[in-house]
Structure 1
Amino acid sequence: MRSLQPTPFRRHHALCAALLAACGSPALAAEAELENERRATELDRVTVTGEIAYRDRSDATAPTLSYGLDYFQRFEPLTVGDMLKRVPSVGFVSDVLEYDGARLRGLDPGYTQILINGKKVPGAGGDRSFYVDRIPAELVERIEIVRSPSANRSGDAVAGALNIVLRDAYEFDGGYLRAGAMHFDDGKTKPVLGAVGSGEFAGGRLLGGVNVQGRHNPKRKRSDRFEAPGGDFVDREDQSDVRDGTDTSGNLSYTRDIGAGRLRLDGFYVRTDRTETEHSREYDHASSRARERLLSVNDQKVDIDQKNLVLGASYDFAMAGGRSEIDLGYARFDDDRFDTEQETGYDNEDSPPSFDGFEGTRILTDARDREFSLKLAHKREFGATRFEFGVDGVDKRRDSSLRTSEVEAKKEGQPLPPYAQFEHQRSRIQERRADPYAMLSGKNGRVDWETGLRYETTRAKIDLRSEENAPALRQDKDYNLLLPSAHLRFNPTEHDRFSASLARTVRRPDFDKLLPLTLEGEYGDNDFVGNPLLRPETAWGLDLGYERRLGRRGVVGLNLFYRKVRDLIEIAGTGRPSAKSLEDHEEAVEEFLDEHPGAGPVTPGYPAFDPDSFLFTAANVGDGAAWGAEFDLSTPLTALGLEHTGVFLNYSWLDSEVEDEFGKRRFNNQPRFVLNVGFIQDLPEWGVSFGASYRRQGGAYSRVLGEEVSTDYGADLEAFVEKRFGSQIAVRLTGSNLLDASKDEAFHKFDTFGDQVGRDYDEYERETETAGPVYQLTVRYAF
């Protein structure tokens, strides 16, 4: 499937390319010849072709990789997350078959900036991250990996930025219908339906699309728990975990030339209706056949209703010898969760095991995130130099509500009290930003350059109401940051390209770490309280790259990166005792006074207060660094006489160093490597294509107060076969997770800081999660 431009635009573009090829430099001629060849395969409307798509060579001076939808589409990705798992350096620590929080360079999702059409949007994560598996792949025109930012975009991109460019009415002509079904290993079948159309409307061009896709992910888990590594067995848990739901989405784009400028209106809406159901049984015997050793039955159901809405309006027009732009945006994210967890305990001394109590917890979570944005920008040429300046304004408000309630019963069949008495906590975080910037860029022979300054100003207000009628706690926090950037690209030949980038970036504190709310028992027996005075993390980043054109369509590249992070936010002690330590001491004092009436602190044997668990907080504690090498290859094997065979390979080696209260470690959950390799074979005389893709992610390690986790991931194999009927119909069968990928985790759990230092375990757990293959049959009809 191809997205096309209107015929007049294509003719003008082809004429310019031909002139460049005739009288320009050899490098420009080669690029123009490639562009003409690509355009020659396109008709006036969307068509079905067997042409293999490769990674695009970006014209941006900042280091950028560009992947069109065609690069991914043969494997029928459902979401942007499914697309991103194939590109360099993007890792995930989600559950099997889930790709939500993208980790560029393997770093926490909060270090990666997610943009939609170049604009930052709010998301579900308390770490300010955006779940990329909430955006259907069918809305996307291309994905850009921006390894180092420019001054005209927000600096929240320590690891880099992932720009999701949606389909545009000006560039897409015609339409198509898509219908299919997915079949899962538990026998469940889910529908996939979509339609996209574009054409002339009201003096401009209008594009509209709708997409409905079923989501289903049946997983199996087993956990074995021990007193310590190599220690005595404690219990095991067998669990089923099923994620089921439907994503419904729509998008509109309207473009029209008005006067000396161009008006563009766009928007998209995604609703996720999802249910997560877990059922598990715990036994005090390692054998799966020992059903009579039942300890408990646990059930958890989470109903999730999420809505994403993004609206934009921009007008680009000629002014004062240059071009100016006015850009308005509104983004909204709503997240409602209804979480019920119930546990029934059993006494397995009886045969069969008898009822031994019931406990239930209900948690209602509501989050509302709103962002209004305004951008004013002006560009103009001064000879061979371009000057751009402007200001970005953002007004963000995040409201969250958390209600919890617990019930219990001691006798089987006893009526349970209603989930009526909820503890209610509400918070609001407001941020207002005004970020002026200025950039200079130009071209000098074979050298392209760009440099700029961005000054980000932030005014934040944090309000917390921990009880229904309690007064709100307010904290204000302002900070300003100067973020310089510079990019250089050298083209020694028409095929070779060297690049270097230096930029300062920022990561703002997680919302959850800003709220001055005390959470008892958050880390083992230790409590945690947020810190509204946290400073943002900043980082200096260096990227060095080399890229070579292979023939007319292939590209190979190597990039080295380094990030030095300042004011790293980590968990730190306050020196104050935890609520549990205070409670234990009070109980000890009461017991002593019962035995020694009238005693006081000077009485021999009076309990001394010696807490072993404490209150911790988030603090700016020091520095960290991340570095690595990224290799990518995308090319046909024309040199071997296999012009209809395309191969794809990217490999990223990742490393880092952070120092916390326990010593040195890598950044939490950073995989040691990410590997993708695959091929596509086209048989044009038969109208058939087939291919396969293999992905592997290296092991990761995470250490926080009270818990250390080692994670290993199984390999993921996908394959497809496609049959085309003329230029309008394609039938495609894809299979994913063909190796029954697994996620294996080892949890080292401790009650207190001292226990963790001394390796005095509370529990050691090994968990394995697996899922079966998924098959999808899809029919596309182009018109």
Structure 2
Amino acid sequence: MNRLIPIACLTLLGAPGAYAQTAQTDAAPATSATPPAKPALGPDGKPVQQVTISGGRASDMDERRNSIAGKQVYGREELDRNGDSNLGDILKRLPGVTIGGRPGRGGDVRMRGMGSGYTQVLLNGERPPAGFSMESLSPDQVERIEIMRGPIAEHSTRAIAGTINIILRDGYQQRDNQLKFTDTIEQGRHAPNVSLTVPGKVSSLTWLLTGSIFENRQHDQTETYNRDTRGDGVVLKDQNVLDETSRNSRGIHLTPRLTYKFDNGDTLNFQPFLMANRSDGNSRSDLTQNFGLVPPALQQPPEYNLALTSSHSESTFLRGFGNWVHKLQGASKLDVKFGFGSGHSDNDSVRYQYDNAGGLLNRYTDTSSVRDRSASSGGKYTTPIGKQHSLAAGWDIELGHRVETKTSLDKDGAAQFEDSGDNLTADTRRLAVFAQDEWDISKQWSGYAGLRWEGIRTTSTRSGTDISNTSSVLSPLLHAVYRIPDHDKDQIRASLTKSYKAANIQDLIALPSLSRLNSATRPDRTGNPDLKPELATGLDFAYEHYLGRSGILTAGGFIRDIDDLIRRQLSLQNTPTGPRWVSTPANIGHARTKGIELEAKFQLQELVADGPALDFRSNYSRFWSSVDDIPGPNNRLDAQPKQTANVGLDYRLKQVPLTLGASLNWTPETTIQSSVEQVVYTSRKRSFDAYGLWKFNARNQIRISANNLMAEDALGSNIVTTNGLAQLANTTNQTYVVWGVKYEMKF
């Protein structure tokens, strides 16, 4: 509901200034995208200056436009568009976002092509629990996704590439219950999913109950060609490995939200989040030795000819988010947050390795158990200072405790690494304080200044030895928006920030992760307790031109200068089971990256009145990077592609209630000189998706979709040259078309 009031009354009501556009404001300020109302007349017959105030949250495009620190918002329209079954398929279409791994199998989320750890992923503005994977979160449980290119003080500045904030379903925004039945089919294997959303209200208590149950069946096939060649050209190893894996996973996700409004205007929100998953798998590995290139005198028996593995895993994560908003005198308020988390995961596998005659060579039994507990608290005090400033200050405290046990035994009961069976305990303490000021300097200028200090201490006990790592970062943050005079649809953004990437607990104190076919291209992985955080100075800038209600054209760029870059280094180490290749993280020096980012999206009918009902979306990004201590020409940041692009169309037919859409996601092939010894190649990735939506009526609709219609094989190459030996591994991973049917109903 909209209402019109004289602008002079805003000060009496404690509202921000006429052009205040802070992210905390619930009302949506009037923009050029909204047609002006007919002016009201005063007693003298002259028009009275008016402003439109809209109840509820601002639209996605208005929130993006009015945010001083650049923020892109994608709500239910984008989340529902293609009928995707996981968040990864949605994120891959957003500007500057790529997903590691091959199509249909997900991977780590990357902004600006920068790998895991550079992109901060938040859940309701908080760090998700350890072990959480976005691939397992149903889009039906998400209200919107916010993407921030530059860090802000109230969130952690652990965001060199940017931040993706996933907001779970919130608020009492619907009257109807929603029930969705989904079935995706891959290689004839079905993956059903049922989700239910139930809103309600009793007196001052409102709720939104969201849950889903699912089952997923998948089959993967990977072919690997291994060849080891001496410096004089003599081939020492020439073999093929065919790996096939079948998995069946089941799970339940619950995300209820409760809101209670007190008589004095205070609000209490609480949202628990439960994920329970179970998975069983079987795999087969066939190793074929090729003897044509290897001299007979140098031929070595293979590690195995056939390996059969069965595995079982269980995981349960419970996380609670809550906040209490207390209104103070005037327009000031205090927002106090609290949270807790508990999680456990157990993994068991048994691997049998046989020779060519079917004789048992070895049996490996691997078990692991991880228990995590966490608690967090935070708060933010917000108050206006005059008509132009919105000042906020606050704190964050997070405590975490982990107990991890790994056991790896062979058929004779011998341990496969030194600490097999021992408990590793780790405690993490994170403290942060921040202050920020959003300032409406003039009708053309708005600015943001923030400062955040964050300290992290990790301590652990392993085999009776105490290990600790302490780091702290001070991050000044500046953002500005300039609205071009006489061009009310155009504005320019710029940001100058400090951010960082902290070493994760696995890289600091991890128990070894063993490779059963150990080589320089398949090394064991371990941690390094002496890692320092990577520190980055960043500059972001963008030009924005808004089109109609939901259209935009943008051109921007970024620069990041990074110190204490973390990279994994290979070494051949003596272990209790003999020499093994081991990958260990280390700080190696300085790096820099930069890029340009383009985006265009619009509804054709807003530009051409008689045009077809066509929605167009596209984005393109180009990246450059270099690492000082690694020789070129491909000494780029780990796994960063040179380019990425998306294009999508939606067409609503006039004669029938049918909407058709398609999108293409493209990332070119990438070659990375990851160290002096190692070169990694990844083939191009093209994912073509399409859907059709038929609306029977306002309460019933069906959506049919197809993802990865091209189903191109994902190719990779890993070459390590060290100790006079070149080890090559070429991999071919099959990908598959995924068909989906989703029936949605309201009742």
Instruction: Give the SS at the match of 2:214.
Output: strand
Structure 2 residue corresponding to 1:626, chosen from 586, 589, 593: 593
Letter in structure 2 aligned against 1:677: V
Query: In structure 2, do the counterparts of structure 1 residues 324 and 723 end up closer, same or farther at CA, with 3 Å as the change threshold?
Result: same
- How is 1:655-734 mapped onto 2 (pairs within 5 angstroms)? 655-660=624-629, 665-702=635-672, 703=674, 707-734=678-705
**What runs of 5+ residues in structure 2 fail to find an aligned partner?**
9-16, 20-27, 39-53, 293-301
- How is 1:442-591 mapped onto 2 (pairs within 5 angstroms)? 442-443=439-440, 444-465=442-463, 472-492=464-484, 493-515=487-509, 524=520, 530-571=527-568, 578-579=573-574
Aligned mates of 1:344, 1:167 — CA distance in 2: 51
In the TM superposition, residue 454 of structure 1 has moved relative to its aligned partner by 0.7
Whether 1:642 and 2:611 are equivalent positions in the alignment is yes
Q: Deviations over 1:146-187 (max 9, x none)?
A: 1111111111111111000111133344221111322222x2
- Tell me which residue corresponds to 1:358: 361
- Tell me which residue corresponds to 1:775: 739
Aligned mates of 1:112, 1:368 — CA distance in 2: 25
Letter in structure 1 aligned against 2:137: I
Aligned mates of 2:740, 2:576 — CA distance in 1: 55
Query: In structure 2, do the counterparts of structure 1 residues 189 and 457 end up closer, same or farther at CA, with 3 Å as the change threshold?
Result: closer
Letter in structure 2 aligned against 1:501: S
In the TM superposition, residue 17 of structure 1 has moved relative to its aligned partner by 9.5
- Tell me which residue corresponds to 2:219: 218
Q: Is the 8 A contact 1:218 1:771 kept in 2?
A: no
- Tell me which residue corresponds to 2:137: 135
- How is 1:20-59 mapped onto 2 (pairs within 5 angstroms)? 28-33=30-35, 57-59=64-66
Letter in structure 2 aligned against 1:238: L
Q: Is the 8 A contact 1:96 1:742 kept in 2?
A: no
- Tell me which residue corresponds to 1:243: 247
- Tell me which residue corresponds to 1:653: 622
Letter in structure 2 aligned against 1:633: A
Whether 1:297 and 2:294 are equivalent positions in the alignment is no
Aligned mates of 1:123, 1:54 — CA distance in 2: 33
Aligned mates of 1:341, 1:582 — CA distance in 2: 17
Q: Is the 8 A contact 1:668 1:701 kept in 2?
A: no
Structure 1 residue corresponding to 2:730, chosen from 750, 761, 766: 766
Whether 1:328 and 2:338 are equivalent positions in the alignment is yes
Instruction: Give the SS at the match of 1:152.
Output: coil
Aligned mates of 2:261, 2:339 — CA distance in 1: 20
Letter in structure 2 aligned against 1:133: E
Aligned mates of 1:628, 1:442 — CA distance in 2: 29
Q: Is the 8 A contact 2:687 2:707 kept in 1?
A: yes
Aligned mates of 1:43, 1:276 — CA distance in 2: 51
Q: Is the 8 A contact 1:276 1:303 kept in 2?
A: yes
Q: Which is worse superposed, 498-507 or 513-522?
A: 513-522
Q: Which is worse superposed, 356-365 or 659-668?
A: 659-668
Q: Which is worse superposed, 101-110 or 300-309?
A: 300-309
Q: Deviations over 1:473-492 (max 9, x none)?
A: 11233333211101001111
Could you state the TM-score of these two structures normalised by the residue count of structure 2?
A: 0.84
Structure 2 residue corresponding to 1:337, chosen from 322, 347, 366: 347
Letter in structure 2 aligned against 1:562: I
Query: In structure 2, do the counterparts of structure 1 residues 660 and 218 end up closer, same or farther at CA, with 3 Å as the change threshold?
Result: farther
In the TM superposition, residue 231 of structure 1 has moved relative to its aligned partner by 8.2
In the TM superposition, residue 618 of structure 1 has moved relative to its aligned partner by 3.9
Aligned mates of 2:36, 2:415 — CA distance in 1: 69
- Tell me which residue corresponds to 1:282: 287
Q: Is the 8 A contact 1:637 1:643 kept in 2?
A: yes
In the TM superposition, residue 649 of structure 1 has moved relative to its aligned partner by 0.8
Aligned mates of 2:70, 2:681 — CA distance in 1: 33
- Tell me which residue corresponds to 1:308: 317
Aligned-residue sequence identity (percent) comes to 20
Aligned mates of 1:738, 1:616 — CA distance in 2: 36
- Tell me which residue corresponds to 2:164: 162
Instruction: Give the SS at the match of 1:30.
Output: coil
Query: In structure 2, do the counterparts of structure 1 residues 560 and 533 end up closer, same or farther at CA, with 3 Å as the change threshold?
Result: same
Structure 1 residue corresponding to 2:717, chosen from 722, 742, 746: 746
Aligned mates of 1:405, 1:281 — CA distance in 2: 22
Q: Is the 8 A contact 2:88 2:99 kept in 1?
A: no
Aligned mates of 1:191, 1:71 — CA distance in 2: 22
Could you state the TM-score of these two structures normalised by the residue count of structure 1?
A: 0.81
In the TM superposition, residue 498 of structure 1 has moved relative to its aligned partner by 0.8
- Tell me which residue corresponds to 2:3: 15
Q: Is the 8 A contact 2:103 2:708 kept in 1?
A: no
Aligned mates of 1:569, 1:374 — CA distance in 2: 30
Aligned mates of 2:657, 2:220 — CA distance in 1: 37
- Tell me which residue corresponds to 2:183: 181
Q: Provide the aligned C-alpha RMSD in A.
A: 3.7
Aligned mates of 1:251, 1:332 — CA distance in 2: 15
Q: Is the 8 A contact 1:722 1:730 kept in 2?
A: yes
- Tell me which residue corresponds to 1:381: 384
Query: In structure 2, do the counterparts of structure 1 residues 616 and 197 end up closer, same or farther at CA, with 3 Å as the change threshold?
Result: closer
In the TM superposition, residue 16 of structure 1 has moved relative to its aligned partner by 5.1
Q: Is the 8 A contact 1:211 1:248 kept in 2?
A: yes
- Tell me which residue corresponds to 2:202: 201
Whether 1:260 and 2:248 are equivalent positions in the alignment is no
**What runs of 5+ residues in structure 1 fail to find an aligned partner?**
1-10, 37-41, 45-51, 125-129, 288-292, 347-353, 409-415, 466-471, 585-612
- Tell me which residue corresponds to 1:92: 99
Structure 2 residue corresponding to 1:104, chosen from 104, 111, 114: 111
Query: In structure 2, do the counterparts of structure 1 residues 240 and 402 end up closer, same or farther at CA, with 3 Å as the change threshold?
Result: same
Q: Is the 8 A contact 1:572 1:661 kept in 2?
A: no
Q: Deviations over 1:451-509 (max 9, x none)?
A: 011111223312112xxxxxx21123333321110100111132112100111112111
Letter in structure 1 aligned against 2:588: V
Instruction: Give the SS at the match of 2:462.
Output: strand
Q: Is the 8 A contact 2:71 2:149 kept in 1?
A: yes
Q: Deviations over 1:654-701 (max 9, x none)?
A: 221124466671111112222211111111431111111111122234
Letter in structure 2 aligned against 1:631: L
Q: Deviations over 1:250-286 (max 9, x none)?
A: 1111112112311111122122222343223222359
Q: Which is worse superposed, 188-197 or 327-336?
A: 327-336
Aligned mates of 2:630, 2:347 — CA distance in 1: 34
Letter in structure 1 aligned against 2:573: S
Whether 1:426 and 2:423 are equivalent positions in the alignment is yes
Higher relative contact order (CA 8 A, sep 6+): 1
Aligned mates of 1:418, 1:660 — CA distance in 2: 38
In the TM superposition, residue 422 of structure 1 has moved relative to its aligned partner by 9.6
Q: Deviations over 1:280-300 (max 9, x none)?
A: 32223599xxxxx99712223
Query: In structure 2, do the counterparts of structure 1 residues 53 and 562 end up closer, same or farther at CA, with 3 Å as the change threshold?
Result: closer
Q: How many residues align?
A: 689
